[in-house]
Amino acid sequence: MKVIIYTKDLMDRSKIEAALKELTCPYQFYDALPSDLSNKNAHIVDLSLENAFDILCRFPRQCIAYGPHTQTELFKKAHALGCKNVLPRSAFFGNMKKVITLFLVKKD
């Protein structure tokens, strides 16, 4: 399964990329939702992106979403769309490999 990552933050990109390389998981970065994605991918979504909720609308159960802990309205909106894996940035990055591994195991 490929992991599709949506973030414009360069630090986030480098941290996520390092974790996915260590997990030997194929991945690809996007800034926006491409039209040709399969439902078999997993998605990591930065809730600070303008189009984050377009992605969550299309793949709610296939996403891990993260954002600033102060943006509780974003978390509520993501949950309302059906995304069960919504985390504050600190929780996501503090346990990233474990979070991704558990998510991918549940997806298989």
What mean pLDDT value characterizes the chain? 91
At the top level of CATH, the class of 3-107 is alpha beta
Tell me: the pLDDT tens digits for 49-60?
A: 998 999 999 888
- pLDDT for res 66: 97
pLDDT at residue number 33: 78
Which of 10, 8, 15 is CA-nearest to residue 93? 15
* Residue 56 host element (H or E): helix 52-58
Query: pTM for this structure?
Result: 0.91
Domain ranges of the chain: 3-107
